[in-house]
């Protein structure tokens, strides 16, 4: 009798184990099924084009239908480093560095300041200002640059201000002196709201007890920001700095829609686009129209990718050291 009960009990345990195992198996399949659309999107639209770029960088493909192309090995890379105009390359690299440093520093300083302001719970209409500051992020490059082109046109307020300050001024995006600072300003204005939202989210996760204790100990507003807000926000600061560096080094769309790479605004990213699809930005001075050389542009984009990767790693290491350790 006892043996029969033990046998029945063991059978129930085995059935429950099989049912539990089957449930876990189906759970894995269901999870994978829901992940499948995202995985397919990533493979088709991210990994696929990236691998194609690597392969095409070793070819002389032009992108013109019906034109034959061949594998040329490292010729594209050899041309980039040794055969092209060194002065033009140095100018493009110099502008790229200037563009990235300016955007990263100014964008994060302004975004952090705005986050501190709109995080004040006693500020009236702070939700409205948050929405207004973030709005350029969702408008898109075409709309943002169109607005700024109108503001800087001969009938716009920016040109009117220039007329009051200068003799015979040119529109800002047709001025070889002001066009480059202008595109930097648009980049900062457009993405500053995104950085602000990240800072704001980080501030709202800082325990209010820390500020209350600091206030009791006689710590003022600025000292609280310095000794509480900054250290607690350092991981967010690191993320925002890295995102700004990556975005600014790869940026070309704002330059393309405002100046087309002319008027001393060509960066390395703009050179890649203009070389692949034609345009004045293929030469840093913006003086010539490039032929379609998508194979060479692919090699340039690979060099840009390696540069962005190296700069990102170095920046991350420096930010961790400045933060006093791993974040």
**Which helix H or strand E contains 46, and what residues bound it?**
none
Please indicate, yes or no, whether residues 162 and 41 belong to a single structural domain of this protein: no
- Give the pair of three-digit tokens for residue 167: 């003799």
Q: What CATH number does residue 239 fall under?
A: 1.10.3720.10
Please state whether the predicted TM-score (pTM) of the whole model is above 0.75.
yes
Same domain, 190 and 41: no
**pLDDT at residue 14, as a whole number:** 60
- Structural domain includes residue 197: yes
* Same-domain check for residues 171 and 40: no
- In a domain, residue 22? The reply is yes
Same domain for 33 and 132? no
Tens-level pLDDT at each residue, the chain (327 residues): 555 555 555 556 565 566 566 566 667 777 788 888 888 998 998 889 899 999 999 999 988 888 889 999 999 999 988 887 778 888 889 999 999 999 999 999 999 999 988 887 777 888 888 888 899 999 889 999 999 999 998 888 998 988 888 888 888 998 888 999 999 999 999 999 999 999 999 988 888 888 888 888 777 778 888 888 888 899 999 999 999 999 999 889 999 999 988 888 999 999 999 888 876 655 554 444 456 889 999 999 999 999 999 998 998 898 888 876 544
Residues with Cβ < 8 Å from 156, sequence gap 6 or more? 150
Angstrom distance (rounded) from CA 265 to CA 11? 77
Structural domain includes residue 84: yes
Within a domain: residue 66? no
Enumerate residues 6+ apart whose C-beta is below 8 A from 53: 298, 301, 302
Range of the domain at 47: 1-56
Based on the domain organization, do 115 and 16 belong to the same domain?
no
Residue 197 CB neighbours (<10 A)? 19
Rounded to an integer, what distance in angstroms lies between the CA atom of residue 41 and that of residue 128?
Answer: 35
Shared domain check, 4 and 107? no
In a domain, 235, yes or no: yes
- How many domains, the chain? 2
Alpha-carbon gap, residue 192 to 319, rounded angstroms: 20
Residues 50 and 82 grouped into a single domain = no
């Amino acid at each position: 009798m006892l043996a029969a009960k033990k046998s029945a009990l063991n059978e129930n345990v085995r059935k429950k184990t099989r049912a539990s195992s089957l449930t876990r198996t189906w759970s894995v399949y269901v999870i994978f099924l829901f992940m499948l659309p995202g995985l397919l999107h990533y493979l088709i639209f991210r990994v696929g084009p990236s691998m194609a770029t690597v392969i095409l960088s070793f070819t002389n493909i032009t992108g013109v239908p019906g034109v034959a192309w061949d594998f040329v090995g490292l010729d594209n890379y050899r041309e980039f480093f040794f055969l092209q105009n060194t002065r033009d390359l140095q100018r493009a690299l110099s502008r790229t560095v200037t563009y990235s440093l300016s955007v990263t520093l100014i964008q994060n300083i302004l975004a952090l300041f705005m986050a501190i302001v709109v995080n004040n719970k006693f500020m009236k209409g702070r939700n409205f200002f948050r929405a207004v500051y973030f709005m350029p992020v969702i408008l898109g490059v075409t709309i943002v640059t169109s607005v700024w082109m109108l503001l800087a046109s001969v009938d716009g307020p920016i040109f009117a201000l220039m007329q009051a300050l200068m003799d015979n001024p040119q529109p800002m995006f047709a001025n070889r002196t002001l066009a480059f600072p202008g595109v930097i300003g648009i980049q900062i204005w457009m993405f500053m709201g995104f950085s602000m939202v990240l800072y704001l989210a980080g501030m709202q996760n800082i325990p209010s007890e820390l500020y209350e204790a600091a206030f009791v100990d006689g710590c003022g507003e600025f000292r609280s920001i310095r000794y509480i807000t900054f250290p607690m926000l350092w991981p967010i600061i690191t993320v925002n700095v890295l995102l700004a560096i990556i975005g600014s080094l790869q940026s070309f769309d704002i330059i393309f829609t405002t100046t087309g790479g002319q008027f001393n605004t060509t960066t390395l990213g703009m050179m890649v686009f203009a070389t692949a699809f034609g345009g004045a930005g293929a030469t840093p001075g913006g003086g010539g129209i490039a032929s379609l050389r998508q194979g060479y542009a692919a090699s340039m984009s690979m060099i840009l990718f390696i540069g962005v990767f190296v700069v990102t790693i170095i920046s991350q290491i420096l930010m961790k050291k400045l933060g006093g350790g791993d974040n």
